[in-house]
Structure 1
Amino acid sequence: MKMRQPILCAEIAALVVLLAFASPSSAADFIVSNADDIETAMETAVAGDTLIMTNGNWTNQNIAFAGNGISGMPITLRADTPGGVILNGSSQLQISGSHLVVDGLHFKGGTLENSDHVVQFRGPLGEATNSRFTNSVIESYYNPNDLTDKWHYISLYGEQNRVDHNRFLDQRNSGPQIVAWLDESNPLSEARHTIDANHFADRPQGWENGFEAIRLGESEFSHYDSHILVENNLFERVDGEIEIISSKANDNIFRYNTFRESKGTLTLRHGHRAVVEGNFFLGEGTAESGGIRVVGEDHVIVNNYIADVDDAADGAISLASGTTGSNPSGYQPVDNVLIAHNTIVNVGGAGVTLDWGHGSSGRSVLPQGVTVARNLISSTASPLFEGTEGPGYTWADNIAFGAPLGIAPRPGIDVVDPQLVQGPDGLWRPSAGSPAIDAVAADYVTDDFEGQPRIGLFDIGADENSMAQIVRKPLTNSDVGALWFNYEEPDVWPLPVQLPPGDFLVIEAEDFTGITDPDSDGKIWTVADVDGASSGQVLTAPTEDGTPTPAAHETLALYDIVFSEEGDYTVYYLARGFDGSSNSIYTPDDFGVDPDVAEHLSENGAFRWESGDEFSISSSHVGMPLEFRLGSREDGSEIDAIIFHQNGGLTENQLDSILASTSVPEPTSATLVLITGMSILIRRRRRTL
């Protein structure tokens, strides 16, 4: 022992010196004004140091925040004033290294050029660990020029990182807002990230899969254990797709989150052993709102409160029928799932669905080994339970009331009025005389949805009748997110309908390839500025004497169109007339031919969509320019836009949404120069699908 004493003292002395250099009292501040300053500062910054970003606009800044702090003493990159640094243009952020904190940034007014991520937890020093992005805002003006480009607000890589107290607002392009990417090369790695106290709001409905607010993992690697915690987040009017949250890995926890007026569900899409606990699903009558959708094994779903949601997944809690085999994108069978102490009130469909999707896409395996215990369901929608029960179910101490059961009566389901009363906070709880109070012995949970301890006999449902302090409640936007940001709910939110499947091509009518004058009289299609038109301009027919025939056209607009996918496409025209003598144009029924179909338009000056002919695109047509011709027929009719779509039964709302979702550049200005006969007057750019 005496021989080791000097060595031990030397080790302690070295540690004291290290801590002295890294102590808060010696921490340095670096003032930085651009990405290059940050890179330079990080060459000398050590644990405990802070980089202070000067307030103002940071335009086209590719920030690599790369370094290594230590536990309890991170290196921090923060705005001088929270929200005072506005990142725009093509600005993006990489967090790379360990024990790093980014605080108080505002991403607004930008669009990415060479990245799929606004913020990503990887960079020059590899994937981040033990690092944090906090107190920041990424909002609506950070969307790509083409909304079909798929990229993300936040990409989590590495391990044990945290995303907290941020606001993520109005993302309109394709791509989940936050994605946690797992280490594909190491099945034993565990991400163990935390996503908490964030505000997700005002995301319009998308047109395909991939519009989640949060996606954890991906189908191909869903057998990995990720252990990601998602808690105390607020989702308001998050309508991207049916999966508000998509869990695609094992061992994730979703607790104490609030979903308000949001279309979709919390979906356990792939993976096993998830915990869904103490969440508030408040549909508030929103169409296509929902609760919890369940795929996979060994999940625990307890203490959730689901009220006034629609029927987004055929049930407030929906158990999916599974497939056989190992298809990573399929539906893993549901097995050994606990559903206990949940309260379901006034929902638009079933309280619990037992076999969602059964019989579709090869889904033939019924959920099995499910325990449904101590849940309280009070709703007038019929039925309260829906579907066919699989083997090995356990039913115990449930109360169901207000509509037919939908399944055969059985022990474990009591059809009795739970005597609910609505409190000042809008939540429904059992009244003093309710049969739900003190009804069951202790099991499954230790507290209720508000964090009140359950003592003695437990109440059925998510609420425990208690005088103890309430420590959890439905969240509002003042409870979460970056509080320096003055968030105001939009008065009128333009929520487009979900776009239908199928390839499509959008053409602004004024983006013609050429204009011709077959009768050589100088009367031709012209471009006019019109307020409210999709790009501010329309194609206007000339004024003429009489109505031309298809054999003797007054003027033709020519378009060279290139398709990238074969198939049958229906053409739709957004056009208008003003009276009975201005309400028609000539449209074609094939490519490369003069138009001879009289298409009638509105007569009141209102633009409306007209459905035209179907065009077949074979593999030999793909990639080849095809000439499409439109002819004038009556005085002053106007064409705003043209859509080719593989769906032949689109509604006006769907067509409007397709037009709104496609960013079309402003047309090139040009002066029409008249050349007689069939000569092309102007060459304009070709539009390609």
Structure 2
Amino acid sequence: RVSGGTQTQIADITDLITPGTTYSVKIERSGTSIVVYRNNVALASASDATFLTGKVGFGSRNDTCTFDNLNVTVGTPPPTPTPTATPTPTPTPTPSDGIPAALRTVNVSSVSTLQTAINNAIPGDHIVLVNGSYSLSASVSVSSKNGTAANPIVIQAASILGVTFTGTGAFNVTSSSYIIIQGFRFTGSTGSSGADGLNLNGSNNCRITRNYFHMTDSIKAYWTYITGAGDDHRIDHNEYANKPAEGCFIVVYGTSSPYDMSKRVRIDHNYLHGQTFTGANGGEAIRFGDSNRQNIDAFGLIEFNLFESNTGDVEVFSNKSSSNTIRYNTLRNNTGSIVLRHGDDNTVEGNFLIDGQNGIRFYGDNHKIIGNYFSGDSGTGVLSTLGIGNGNIADAPGGNTGYDQPNNCIVAFNTFVGNSTNVVFGLQGTSSFPATGTVFANNILQSDSGTLVSSSSGTPSGTIWEGNILWGAASNGIIPASGFTRVNPLLSLGQFSVYRIASNSPAVNASVNSANYGYLTTDFDGQSRTGTRDIGADEYSTASIVRRPLTTTDVGPNGL
């Protein structure tokens, strides 16, 4: 309510919204009362005398929310039909995915007519390539073409995965904006020059969605490559399959003179599997930055991806920039981890790391490793379940390829159950630069083998140990007695084959200094965490489970 220039909050809605999603929002006013609806479900109501004669409208603060298609009805509004569930997308028809309707549809049936249509494209064009197989002897080029947020330029197959590209040509988007590429199979060869598959160079606000990548590499190549001066891209619902050669599925960089990172890149709902390159380096599924860009804030969001059976590089996701969030992903049966190799101020939250040799390892400052679930991990050394590194330099400048000493990082509210190794300090680097100021709090560690907390080299300095629960035949290790309680947390295997605490678990409402973790608002199931939180990644609740370990039905071109 705004009255006399004074703004007053009179109702609060704590329901979550998903970035990049379109919602129907409705406000109904009746006398002195208003009701706010989202997707025809009432979320909040309030009463105030000013509503009787004042103005009612929509607005947004502190975010990038936008409103369009505004309808105003005076009197009794017509009934709004109850929304029906959207069926699982299938190869035909093409799902809308929030893509605006075409202002003009341009149907093409060859590579040459596709290129001509792209050259002549205007905002709102949907360029639709007839299903079939097409050989690219030269690259398809989208150069200096600009759609708008309301009317992007869409380049798509007639149906999802209905078009297959072979040959040695790539797909290049340069100096363009608001371009959407949807529904193609990229199965060609990167050629002897190592041409990358799909490139976004110096472009903004582009989207790569519901494509399939399985290319034949004869030399190092990246299958999706973001570089140059450009921000705000989304890579979603793609499948990246079976890459035995050097080079990553996805690489995100930025400019090189000066070095910068592409900002606010969102990578979500992709299925990344079968990256099996076993060279010394260069076989990550995703690389986000590099040593030259390690101190640059990228504000990337990597969420809801499924990494599976990537058995080459020890880094499945390699973070090499700052201020990124890696959350709600599932890693299953990999020989590689989420690794914060470079950069500061990153958050790794709510991920499921299950079986195989996949975990989390980090270097650098001010990271948050919170609310993650580790189960059945068999890795050791650099593939330990949670590796907290040593540095070989106190504070790495841009371009330095060493290990940045970890300082002031938070490891809290995680659950470790049934792993061969659990938490290992002192990985790589030197004992002269051990982790300092680590907060290790409110975690559950349960195992019948090995050591729960150990150090491979050096002694961590200034660690705050508090509120942890240890259980099982595994030895305690270096954690001091004041930092844990040895008690059965009453974990049981439940829905979606995940271990959760029982209602009578000693973890319930037992966390220490819970108020320090106000940013941790949900558990790994997506259930609310308020007040004195439960120890570990699970908050005991009878509410519906919102998040769970991902499967192939959730991600990729035909994922939800």
TM-score (norm 1): 0.62
Aligned to 2:16: none
Equivalent pair of 1:371/1:395 in contact (CA under 8 Å): yes
Aligned to 1:28: 104
Work out the CA distance in 1 between the residues paired with 2:463 and 2:524. Answer: 25
Aligned to 1:417: 488
Query: Any idea what SS the aligned residue of 1:37 has?
Result: helix
| Amino acid of the structure 1 residue aligned with 2:115 | E
| Amino acid of the structure 2 residue aligned with 1:333 | Q
Work out the CA distance in 1 between the residues paired with 2:429 and 2:246. Answer: 29
Find out whether 1:63 has 2:140 as its counterpart: yes
Aligned to 2:466: 396
Work out the CA distance in 2 between the residues paired with 1:69 and 1:376. Answer: 50
Report deviation, 1:189: 5.7
Aligned to 2:385: 316
- Relative to structure 1, the CA distance from residue 311 to residue 183 in structure 2 (aligned partners, 3 Å threshold; closer, same or farther) is same
Give 2:225's match in structure 1, choosing from 133, 138, 155: 155
Report deviation, 1:408: 5.3
Work out the CA distance in 2 between the residues paired with 1:424 and 1:300. Answer: 27
Equivalent pair of 2:109/2:129 in contact (CA under 8 Å): yes
Aligned to 2:352: 280
Work out the CA distance in 1 between the residues paired with 2:370 and 2:526. Answer: 13
Aligned to 2:199: 120
| Amino acid of the structure 2 residue aligned with 1:85 | V
Aligned to 2:169: 91
Report deviation, 1:208: 2.2
In our comparison, the structure showing a higher alpha carbon Rg is 1
Aligned to 1:462: 537
Give 1:434's match in structure 2, choosing from 479, 501, 505: 505
Report deviation, 1:294: 0.6
Report deviation, 1:46: 1.1
Work out the CA distance in 2 between the residues paired with 1:240 and 1:323. Answer: 25
Give 1:143's match in structure 2, choosing from 213, 216, 231: 216
Aligned to 2:184: 105
Report deviation, 1:320: 0.5
Give 1:447's match in structure 2, choosing from 501, 522, 528: 522
Equivalent pair of 2:267/2:303 in contact (CA under 8 Å): yes
Equivalent pair of 1:198/1:480 in contact (CA under 8 Å): yes
Aligned to 2:158: 80
Gaps of 5+ in 1: 1-22, 486-689
Work out the CA distance in 2 between the residues paired with 1:369 and 1:443. Answer: 15
| Amino acid of the structure 1 residue aligned with 2:216 | N
| Amino acid of the structure 2 residue aligned with 1:434 | S
Find out whether 1:483 has 2:558 as its counterpart: yes
Query: Any idea what SS the aligned residue of 1:78 has?
Result: strand
Q: Deviations over 1:283-314 (max 9, x none)?
A: 1xx3xx12100110010110000100112425
Which aligned runs of 4 or more in structure 1 are off by greater than 6 angstroms? Answer: 23-26
Report deviation, 1:337: 0.2
Work out the CA distance in 1 between the residues paired with 2:261 and 2:224. Answer: 20
Work out the CA distance in 1 between the residues paired with 2:323 and 2:372. Answer: 18
Report deviation, 1:72: 2.1
Find out whether 1:261 has 2:329 as its counterpart: no
Work out the CA distance in 2 between the residues paired with 1:368 and 1:24. Answer: 50
Structure 2 counterparts to residues 339-358 of structure 1, below 5 A: 339-349=411-421, 351-357=422-428
Equivalent pair of 2:266/2:301 in contact (CA under 8 Å): yes
Equivalent pair of 2:359/2:383 in contact (CA under 8 Å): no
Report deviation, 1:220: 2.2
Report deviation, 1:32: 2.2
Report deviation, 1:447: 1.3
Work out the CA distance in 1 between the residues paired with 2:149 and 2:207. Answer: 12
Work out the CA distance in 2 between the residues paired with 1:408 and 1:240. Answer: 33
Query: Any idea what SS the aligned residue of 1:368 has?
Result: coil
Aligned to 2:280: 208
Equivalent pair of 1:182/1:226 in contact (CA under 8 Å): no
Give RMSD over aligned pairs.
2.1
Find out whether 1:231 has 2:311 as its counterpart: no
Equivalent pair of 1:190/1:225 in contact (CA under 8 Å): no
Q: Deviations over 1:323-367 (max 9, x none)?
A: 127471100000010111000111111x211211254xxx52000
Report deviation, 1:191: 2.0
Report deviation, 1:69: 0.2
The number of aligned residues is 446
| Amino acid of the structure 2 residue aligned with 1:347 | N
Work out the CA distance in 1 between the residues paired with 2:134 and 2:383. Answer: 47
Report deviation, 1:391: 2.1
Report deviation, 1:218: 1.0
Structure 2 counterparts to residues 152-191 of structure 1, below 5 A: 152-157=222-227, 158-187=230-259, 190-191=262-263
Work out the CA distance in 2 between the residues paired with 1:89 and 1:43. Answer: 21
TM-score (norm 2): 0.76
Query: Any idea what SS the aligned residue of 2:113 has?
Result: helix
- Relative to structure 1, the CA distance from residue 483 to residue 462 in structure 2 (aligned partners, 3 Å threshold; closer, same or farther) is same
- Relative to structure 1, the CA distance from residue 151 to residue 53 in structure 2 (aligned partners, 3 Å threshold; closer, same or farther) is same
